[in-house]
Amino acid sequence: MSNKCPGQDSRWITAGLYKCPNCGEMAEMFSDELKRRCPKCKTVIYKESVPSCIQWCQSAKECLGEKRYKQLMEGIK
């Protein structure tokens, strides 16, 4: 049995596009990143909110258990 979180497996990382607040350029940011420099003007782009792993990890229910998972998801809504 491994003590490593299954969500840390790089196969589960997703990508999204985020708009630079300075110049409007779109920058790709991965789910495990909190900020990225704009490729055009070099302004730091921050995610508006940092998602909890339970929102994106396919193993969240397995890690937390069904009951705890449901409680935490209700708290996010």
Kindly list the domain boundaries of the chain, sorted by start residue. Answer: 7-76
Q: How many CA atoms lie within 13 A of 62 on its CB side?
A: 8
pLDDT at position 24 is: 96
pTM assigned to the model: 0.57
Are 42 and 23 in contact, with CB atoms under 8 Å apart?
no
Q: What is the pLDDT of residue 27?
A: 96
Measured in whole angstroms, how far is the alpha carbon of residue 72 from the centre of its chain? 16
pLDDT value of residue 4: 67
Residue 8: predicted pLDDT: 65
Positions of the chain with pLDDT lower than 50, given as ranges:
1-2
pLDDT for position 2: 45
